[in-house]
Amino acid sequence: MSEEIKSNAIYTTKETQKLLKISNSTIKRLLKKGLIKANKVGGQYRILGKEILFLVSPKVEKDATKSYLKLKQKVVDKINKW
């Protein structure tokens, strides 16, 4: 049974990993790239539930797909110039 993500709750990186079913390296990458906004408290990140919900929203997925396709096209264009 999946847990409900509460927008005003505060989650640790471990809890976020469990909710999103992602690896430790993936959560670190998301934090480093700023895809999940978090605050560092006592050397550990704390993530607001609304940040997790924002990450899994359909709009974010659509924007990410658009960004990926744009980048992919740039790479294809660069390769074709060779």
pLDDT tens for each residue of 6-64: 888 999 999 999 999 999 999 999 999 888 999 999 999 999 998 898 888 777 667 77
Q: Is 3 contained in some domain?
A: no
Convert 29-67 to b/e letters by CB count within 10 Å (16 or more is b): ebbeeeebebeeeeeebebbbebbeebeeeeeeeeeeee
Instruction: Give a yes or no: residue 2 inside a domain.
Output: no
Residue 55 lies in a domain: yes
pTM value is 0.65
Is 49 part of any domain? yes
Q: In Å, how far from its chain's centre is CA 67? A: 14
Averaged pLDDT for residues 57-75: 79
Number of domains in the chain: 1
Domain carrying residue 46: 10-81
- Is the residue at 75 inside a domain? yes
Predicted local confidence at residue 6, as pLDDT: 87
